[in-house]
Amino acid sequence: MRHAPDKELTLLADYVVNTPIKNTLAYETARYCLMDAIGCAILALQYPACTKLLGPIIAGTMVPHGSRVLGTTYELDPILAAFNIGTLIRWLDFNDTWLAAEWGHPSDNLGAILAVADYVSRKNILEKKPPLTMHDVLTAMIKAYEIQGVLALENGFNRIGLDHVAFVKIASTAVATQLLGGQRDDIINALSHAFIDGQSLRTYRHAPNTGSRKSWAAGDATSRAVRLAWLVLKGEMGYPSALSVKTWGFNDVTLRGQSLRFPRELSSYVMENILFKIAFPAEFHAQTAVECALQLHPLIKNRFDHIKKIVLTTHESAIRIINKTGVLHNPADRDHCLQYMVAAALLMGDLKADYYEEDFAKNPRIDFLREKMCVEENTQYSKDYLDPDKRSIANAMQIYFDDGSCTDNIEIHYPLGHKRRRNEGIPLLIKKFKDNMLTRFSVEKTEALVAIFNNHNKLENLPINQFIEKLI
């Protein structure tokens, strides 16, 4: 006799199918998240290391009425399109972020959401059915963000060596199955496959193996989610005790006998509290450290040769994942190095994606400054990082000179993209979007897109296929 579905599977499926989203702040924030993610994707088209991975498996292949890839002429099946879109959004480490026991980037799920929604809408139109609207997209975003983010609150896969994109795959599987027309039982079955899948190791995010896979891993996860949803909707069976069955289940094999924790009811908490990367593409644990460096730059820009020591005070998670010394081998290594990001910002007075590339990294002052840095933990910062009422990402910096003088200790608890700094951040987020879009599109087209995003009712009622057409 088969087991009743595991409670985790039913909880997630019931949330996707039965929980209405009524919070206006969640929809408003989702609109900004979508805007920001699209801008990040368009900017990534400037980088050949990214664009070489895009397009069909066999050159020249086009899927009629398939899913379109932002900023390109590619028209692909939704599984491959999800990889393309997800990879573009994630490539520069500039999209939104969620930090807790586990980390991640909930807009990674847009690879699946946009690809599936565009395909379904175009198919519906051919069949004389109504297309999906951007309201459907925003709702799917809120629910995917919530699943990924709530799972991340107390389930730290990083501590067992697994990558956070497992949560992207789970969240994308749930919402993609629904967007494709799946019902509650279909979502349960598809989710069982997402848990049964092997989960990625984190080794490509850490020395000595840090590499570019971390920039397409989320695209891979969101594409796999669409594949699993597709299989189930073709009639493939599910596995109801995929988590709980002894010896062979996810809990015993992956979590070492533990169970997933759901510390709060699923609603729209994650979307309402999402973190934006606004000013610069820096791994989020370093955002406030870079802000400190930008404040210090004008004070020390003529005194680099007299620096004796740079003290960086940070939180435990930053020390664990981005505290690096020694040789950095590639851009992926550099954009996850606290000391490198701070050194570049101190040197230049800003931080751009280009600063992670080989030509810039050859500047000898980068390693000179890195060698002067001492990284220390402030235990209160670590506590506030995990406090659900604070969710701070604090860093501080003080620079000492060989004449015995020093700067003030610059301390910043909440980065520009934090909910506590929304009023300050949103105008700059819109500017970021414009700047990113202008790398590909005209001023007129960019301003027309901004106008759509600024008109919430117009955006929500727009068919998704028409929205995608504006981004080609």
As a whole number of angstroms, the distance between CA 324 and CA 340 comes to: 8
CB-based contact 389:333 (threshold 8 Å): no
Q: For the segment 249-280, what is each residue's pLDDT rounded down to a tens digit?
A: 999 999 999 999 999 999 999 999 999 999 88
Q: Quick check: 346 pLDDT over 90?
A: yes
Q: Is the pLDDT of residue 355 over 70?
A: yes
Q: Are 220 and 165 in contact (CB under 8 A)?
A: yes
What does pTM read for this prediction? 0.90
How far is 80 from 67, CA to CA, in rounded Å?
A: 9
Q: Which of 130, 112, 113 is nearest to 121 (CA)?
A: 130
Q: Which residues contact 439 (CB under 8 A, 6 or more apart)?
A: 42, 43, 45, 46
| DSSP of 393-409 | --EEEEEEETTS-B---
What pLDDT is recorded for position 22? 93
- How many CB atoms lie under 10 A from the CB of residue 390? 15
Contact 227, 79 (CB under 8 A): yes
CA dist., res. 249 & res. 258, Å (int): 11
Tokens coding 440: 């590909």
> Is residue 157's pLDDT more than 70?
yes
Query: Which CATH number is correct for 284-415, 3.30.1330.120, 2.120.10.30, 3.20.20.330, 2.40.110.10?
Result: 3.30.1330.120
Residue 95 CA to its chain's centroid (Å): 5
Q: 424 to each of 92, 240, 351, 429, how far by Cα in Å? A: 23, 47, 19, 9
Q: Could you read off the pLDDT of 81-132 as tens digits, one per residue? A: 999 999 999 999 899 999 889 989 999 999 999 999 999 999 999 999 999 9
- 3-class state of residue 58 by DSSP: coil
pLDDT score of 372 more than 80:
yes
Nearest-10 crossing angle of helices 184-196, 7-18: 130
The per-residue pLDDT for range 288-312, each reduced to its tens digit, is 999 999 999 999 999 999 999 999 9
What does the pLDDT look like over 12-35, one tens digit per residue? 999 999 999 999 999 999 999 999
Give the DSSP letter of residue 265: -
Mean residue pLDDT across the chain = 96
Burial 20-38 (b: 16+ CB within 10 A, else e): ebeeeebbbbbbbbbbbbb
Contact between 339 and 325 (Cβ < 8 Å): yes
Q: Give the CA radius of gyration of the chain.
A: 22
What is the predicted pLDDT for the residue at 1?
58
Residues near 101 by beta carbon (within 8 Å), at least 6 away in sequence = 152, 153, 154, 155, 156, 159, 386
Give residue 99's pLDDT.
Answer: 87
What is the 8-class DSSP label of residue 198?
Answer: P
Cβ 424 vs Cβ 416: under 8 Å: yes
Helices (H) and strands (E) in the chain, counts: 22, 8
According to CATH, the topology of domain 7-272 is 2-methylcitrate dehydratase PrpD (1.10.4100)
Interatomic CA distance for residues 104 and 66, integer angstroms: 29
What is the full DSSP assignment across 2-23?
PPPPPHHHHHHHHHHHH-----
pLDDT at 398 over 90: yes
The 10s digit of each residue's pLDDT in 317-326 is 999 989 999 9
Report residue 394's pLDDT band, with 50, 70 and 90 as the boundaries.
Answer: very high
Burial 324-334 (b: 16+ CB within 10 A, else e): beeebeebbbb
Mean pLDDT of 378-403: 94
In three-state secondary structure terms, 99 is strand
Mean pLDDT of the 217-235 span: 98
CB 97 within 8 A of CB 107: no
What residue segments make up the domains of the chain, in order of their start?
A: 7-272, 284-415
